[in-house]
Chain A
Amino acid sequence: MEKFTTLQSRAIPLHIENVDTDQIIPARFLKATDRKGFGDNVFRDWRYHKDGTINHDFVLNDPKFTGSILVAGDNFGCGSSREHAAWAITDFGFKVVVSSFFADIFKGNALNNGLLPIQVTETFLETLLTQIEKHPETIIEVNLENQTIEAKDLGLSSHFEIDPYKKTCLINGYDDIDYLVNNIKLIEAFESQKTY
């Protein structure tokens, strides 16, 4: 997994609530057996019309907006457990997703792929979204060590929570498999003494 420490980038405002994983990556694109290439189809049915032409009204197709931070409405990533959603978002180039609420499984999937989900308050999110829409050139700074997200030009700043174990993993680029495999002895001991 790639390490994550700090990031400075412009952001893309996805001003929609309850974005579910079927929107992030529709099921018909789940037939691949590797992790790559899903970025081409991220938000597919919003980015393109049914006839395959580009939907210029969708924010990802708006040349005003660019960057590796996605700022999305409340309850992001609900629905299916497909990790393809996290792969599609990272493959497209995002490193951070900001929302006021994340669905459990999506959040876990994101963290397991070096994609940082930042949960902020609804008020902060709303201000951030409207400000980026007004000032697309705004630079956002994320500092994982200090657990802060800031838009200095706009005078916006917020602290965010993250599980300390997950934070260490992200900063060092470790994942859970490394940890678990190092504990196989303990696991085998548990198996031999199961009480149920």
Chain B
Amino acid sequence: MGKTLFDKVWDSHVVNTIENGPQILYIDKHLIHEVTSPQAFNELEDRGIPILRPDQIVATADHNTPTQDQDQPIKDELSRKQLAQLSENCKKNNITLYELGHQYNGIVHVMAPELGVTQPGMTMVCGDSHTSTHGAFGAIAFGIGTSQVAQVFASQCLLLKKPKSLRVTVNGNLNYGVLPKDVILYIISKLGTNSGTGYFCEYAGNVFEEMSMEGRMTVCNMSIEMGARGGMIAPDQTTFDYVEGREFAPKGDAFDEKVAYWKTLPTDADAQFDKEYHFDAQDIEPMVTYGTNPGMGIKISEYIPEVSDASFEKSLKYMNFKKGESLINKPINFVFIGSCTNSRIEDFRVAANYIKGKKKADNVTAWLVPGSKQVEAQIIQEGLKTVFEDAGFELRQPGCSACLAMNDDKIPQGEYCVSTSNRNFEGRQGQGSRTILASPLVAAATAVEGKIIDIAKQLASASSALIN
């Protein structure tokens, strides 16, 4: 029987199998950041265990960093200490760190692919659940807890049971205005938040084949929101072109050799998955969420479903929405375009393209936060910054920012925020804040209109106006 992409990568990384137990899985790349690593460093130090392969670790500061005045000392004492600790730990252990202000600094899941650290066929981990992002390259990439960070420090391996396999296929033509974010929000709204638990997911079909690497990263990023530990897309020419020439990508003959190997990775035609789902691209429309988990999503033009269930009702109460209600015309005061889901150059191009020649609504506070210094530089270079500023928007400095509101970028109590991030949990963006997840296009339109609009309808009438 044939093998899946996941099988091929996993099986080639198994060091050993414990009888009746887990396998020892070798990890090629370990990404770390300030929040989930300090306790792991401490643990190793306490036990007198050295870090086995410091050159396979890449560190960045992202979760807890300010998005303004990054050249100034950080005001919050605990944050400052946490970042200082990361620098100290990396220095002591010879780990490459792209700290705040470095030209390569950024959200770990944005900067690592940009630098070519992420490559097809690798195993990658990070103490962050959205490590699934890197699966867009055909890598096995998943989030781990801090004890596991310590395990990888100590042994470059993890003890794991091989997850089951799941494939989500989407074929057909996407409707105008439907972005990769809508595709994944749609999938999660259909499958629910724990359908993927215990599984690794492969995304297949022409919709993903035709997506850019940025779009594939957006999709794989949110795999964890349906419970799957990771998501993967088969590497192809789009992948190879993206990787080629990047800082840590193999060069010359070594690159060609790797490409030849990467071409062997896609799932064999006769491979079997434990679970399969199929969707038709035509059914997908721009999406928004109305509740407090990412599975609670609807097409913008739809109404909140009428479900009688205590946790559903608790969720609607928190959001202050009613069953059967439409979100269209809901006034919105906060918009966030950023996070490892949607803070790459393509996302800002989409937003700028919509915003160009328009003005931000007066009631809206909008935070545009690039995923990395490199994205920030590109925004400036492509003239998008001017577009944003002319429309009354402010571009901030890179970091996780309002995605998890660990820094000062918090949405106030009771306020709605249309956000391109990945989680709409209670209080995720600040105590009492209410998050509506959406694509960068929907977010940009909300910022301009000051309320949620039926973007598909607006685009359709704009294009028919052009034709007439």
Contacts and interface: CB of A to CB of B under 8 A. Distances in A.
Interface of A: 16-18, 20, 22-23, 26-28, 30-35, 45, 50, 73, 75, 78-84, 86, 101, 103-105, 108-109, 112-113, 163-165, 175-177, 179-181, 183-184, 186-187, 190-191, 194-196
B22 A163 contact: yes
Interface string B245-283: 000000000000000010000000000000000000000
Nearest to B131: A81
Contact of A165 (B20, B39, B47, B85): B20
Given A26-B431, A177-B151, A180-B154, A105 B159 contact: no
B174 interface: no
A22 B427 contact: yes
8 contacts: A109-B146, A175-B147, A176-B158, A183-B155, A186-B16, A187-B52, A187-B155, A196-B261
B205 interface: no
A50 B311 contact: no
Contact of A104 (B197, B404, B432): B197
A120 to B, nearest CB: 16
A163 B22 CA distance: 9
B16 A163 contact: no
Contact of A79 (B42, B144, B423): B423
Given A81-B128, A195-B12, A33 B147 contact: no
A35 B293 contact: no
Contact of A181 (B82, B155, B427): B155
A179 to B, nearest CB: 6
B116 interface: no
B64 A31 contact: yes
B38 interface: yes
Given A181-B49, A187-B156, A18 B405 contact: no
A34 B38 contact: yes
B326 interface: no
Given A79-B425, A177-B151, A34 B39 contact: yes
B293 A18 contact: yes
Contact of B145 (A27, A34, A105, A179): A105
Contact of B311 (A18, A22, A112, A164): A18
A91 to B, nearest CB: 13
B425 A20 contact: yes
Contacts, number: 178
A28 B405 contact: yes
Nearest to B144: A81
A167 to B, nearest CB: 10
B42 A165 contact: no
B323 interface: no
Contact of A33 (B38, B76, B150, B428): B38
A177 to B, nearest CB: 5
B78 A176 contact: no
A183 B194 contact: no
B193 A50 contact: no
Contacts of B261: 196
B143 A105 contact: yes
B18 interface: yes
Given A30-B64, A30-B406, 18 more contacts: A22-B425, A22-B426, A31-B81, A32-B82, A33-B39, A34-B38, A35-B42, A78-B227, A78-B293, A82-B35, A86-B145, A104-B229, A109-B145, A165-B159, A176-B148, A177-B47, A181-B155, A186-B15
A186 B24 CA distance: 10
Given A101-B197, A187-B155, A35 B24 contact: no
Contacts of A23: 425-427
Nearest to B423: A79
Interface residues of B, number: 68
A184 B52 CA distance: 9
Contacts of B229: 104-105
Nearest to B291: A18
Given A34-B38, A108-B148, A79 B129 contact: yes
B151 A190 contact: no
A108 B197 CA distance: 13
A20 B194 CA distance: 12
Contacts of B432: 50
Interface string B141-168: 0011111101100111111010000000
Given A23-B425, A45-B427, A82 B24 contact: no
A60 B155 CA distance: 39
Given A31-B78, A73-B311, A83-B145, A180 B151 contact: yes
A81 B127 contact: yes
Interface string B78-101: 110110010000000000000000
Q: Looking at B22, B425, B432, which has the most chain A CB atoms within 10 Å of its CB?
A: B425
B26 interface: yes
A82 B261 CA distance: 35
Given A30-B406, A186-B24, A83 B146 contact: yes
Contact of A164 (B20, B129, B155, B314): B20
B404 A183 contact: no
A81 B24 contact: no
Contacts of A103: 194, 197, 227
Nearest to A164: B20
A175 B79 CA distance: 30
A13 B321 CA distance: 28
B16 A183 contact: yes
A34 B146 CA distance: 11
Contacts of A28: 405-406
A64 B16 CA distance: 50
B413 interface: yes
A79 B292 CA distance: 12
B87 to A, nearest CB: 12
Given A45-B426, A190-B15, A109 B147 contact: yes
A86 B155 CA distance: 23
Report the 6 A-B pairs with minimum CB-CB distance, sorted nearest first: A165-B21, A180-B155, A112-B147, A33-B38, A109-B145, A31-B78
